């Protein structure tokens, strides 16, 4: 199944005055963004955020590259959004605080439309593999409309009274097992998984390490809260020349069953999915310093 390559998903509060300008910034290279009316908007600013979003929806036009989602506070706000003029200009919705108990209510609203969704799991069920498996079963009939399953890292840590360290990656703290469980539960079933935000945008070295670990777990989209994070994430998603060359050889119809490349074994039977991901990354983000890659067909 073809998946949208979301890259760094930039969260932008709906009350931000430069919302439209940020989305239109070609130098930023956004592939996905979320206009947020939930945690990034205080109670005192909800009315301002609603008015701002209504105006944005009525005037937004897709540039064909960046998918734009809205994040409502609750199901009542989603129902309100769906009635807005121009809501068809929004690609989908990020559903906050999804659980096994409330997911049917979210789906009842959204599945009457053509919008995509990105459910965010950020409560105690994130620690419960059995609950994640139930959510997978509940979402599976709608997998084609689910652009990604989002891990609400900060809300999950809040349950523990903890916060992300600026000195270590998520894979060296309480979120490590959560991310692994999400990847193992959802990715084999055909869902994409989005890695949590690294909120310390002043520590790019740690973000770089975390991005490597994300890719090792089959995760190639990540929440961002700062434009510089977008650039860094997209740069990390560019495969090397050697990786791209290996991927094309693996996907070649005439590839040997097993062959060597620079001291590593390549086995098309087991490396084909990896190779397809490398090609998708190259087509979306380029290869190292190269900006554009000629598309090739991947079966």
Residue 116 shares a structural domain with residue 229: yes
How confident is the model over 190-216, as a mean pLDDT?
A: 97
Q: What is the spatial distance between Cα 160 and Cα 172, in angstroms, rounded to a whole number?
A: 15
Tell me the pLDDT tens digit for each residue of 230-285: 999 999 999 999 999 999 999 999 999 999 999 999 999 999 999 999 999 999 99
Residue 246 shares a structural domain with residue 190: no
In a domain, 269, yes or no: yes
Residue 187 shares a structural domain with residue 206: yes
| Closest of 242, 243, 255, 252 to residue 298, by C-alpha | 252
pLDDT band of residue 210 (cuts 50, 70, 90) is very high
**Last residue of some domain: 236, 262, 293?**
236
Residue 225 shares a structural domain with residue 251: no
Q: What is the spatial distance between Cα 2 and Cα 255, in angstroms, rounded to a whole number?
A: 23
In a domain, 44, yes or no: yes
Q: List Cβ<8 Å contacts ≥24 apart for 12-16.
A: 12/36, 13/40, 13/41, 13/49, 14/41, 14/49, 14/50, 14/52, 14/53, 14/56, 14/70, 15/41, 15/45, 15/48, 15/49, 15/52
Q: What is the spatial distance between Cα 157 and Cα 164, in angstroms, rounded to a whole number?
A: 8
User: How far out from the chain centre does Cα 26 lie?
Assistant: 20
Residue 195 shares a structural domain with residue 177: yes
Q: List Cβ<8 Å contacts ≥24 apart for 288-291.
A: 288/238, 288/239, 288/240, 288/241
In a domain, 290, yes or no: no
Residue 255 shares a structural domain with residue 194: no
Residue 272 shares a structural domain with residue 132: no
Q: What's the pLDDT score for residue 198? A: 96
| Closest of 154, 135, 139 to residue 36, by C-alpha | 154
Tell me the pLDDT tens digit for each residue of 13-71: 999 999 999 998 989 999 999 999 999 999 999 999 999 999 999 999 988 889 999 99
Range of the domain at 187: 7-236
Q: Global pTM? A: 0.92
Residue 41 shares a structural domain with residue 83: yes
In a domain, 173, yes or no: yes
Residue 101 shares a structural domain with residue 215: yes
Domain CATH for 127: 3.20.20.60
**Last residue of some domain: 196, 218, 236?**
236
Residue 153 shares a structural domain with residue 40: yes
In a domain, 154, yes or no: yes
Residue 16 shares a structural domain with residue 46: yes
Q: Which residues contact 183 (CB under 8 A, 6 or more apart)?
A: 193, 217, 218, 219
Domains contained in the chain, number: 2
Q: What's the pLDDT score for residue 111? A: 84
Residue 254 shares a structural domain with residue 163: no
In a domain, 54, yes or no: yes
In a domain, 22, yes or no: yes
In a domain, 213, yes or no: yes
Tell me the pLDDT tens digit for each residue of 96-148: 999 999 999 999 999 889 999 999 999 999 999 999 999 999 999 999 999 99
**Last residue of some domain: 202, 220, 236?**
236
The answer, yes or no, to whether residue 2 has pLDDT greater than 90, is: no
């Amino acid at each position: 199944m073809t998946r949208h390559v979301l890259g760094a998903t930039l969260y932008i509060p709906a009350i931000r005055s430069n919302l439209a300008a940020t989305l239109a910034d070609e130098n930023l290279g956004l592939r996905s963004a979320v206009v947020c009316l939930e945690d990034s908007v205080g109670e005192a600013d909800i009315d301002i955020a609603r008015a701002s979003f209504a105006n944005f929806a009525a005037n937004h036009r897709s540039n064909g590259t960046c998918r734009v989602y809205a994040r409502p506070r609750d199901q009542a706000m989603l129902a309100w959004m769906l009635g807005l003029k121009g809501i068809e200009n929004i690609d989908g919705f990020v559903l906050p605080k999804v659980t096994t108990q409330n997911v049917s209510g979210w789906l009842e609203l959204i599945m009457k439309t053509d919008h995509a969704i990105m459910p965010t799991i950020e409560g105690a069920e994130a620690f419960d593999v059995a609950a994640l498996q139930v959510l997978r079963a509940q979402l599976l009939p709608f997998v084609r409309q689910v652009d990604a399953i989002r891990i609400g890292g900060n809300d999950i840590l809040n349950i523990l009274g903890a916060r992300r360290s600026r000195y270590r990656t998520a894979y060296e703290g309480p979120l490590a097992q959560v991310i692994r469980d999400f990847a193992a539960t959802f990715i084999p079933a055909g869902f994409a998984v989005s890695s949590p935000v690294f909120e310390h945008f002043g520590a790019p070295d740690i973000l770089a390490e975390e991005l490597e670990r994300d890719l090792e777990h089959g995760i190639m989209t990540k929440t961002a809260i700062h434009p510089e994070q977008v650039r860094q994430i997209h740069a990390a998603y560019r495969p090397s020349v050697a990786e791209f060359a290996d991927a094309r050889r693996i996907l070649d119809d005439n590839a040997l069953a097993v062959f060597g490349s620079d001291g590593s074994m390549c086995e098309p039977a087991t490396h084909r999915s990896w190779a397809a991901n490398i090609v998708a990354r190259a087509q979306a983000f380029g290869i190292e310093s190269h900006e554009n890659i000629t598309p090739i067909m991947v079966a």
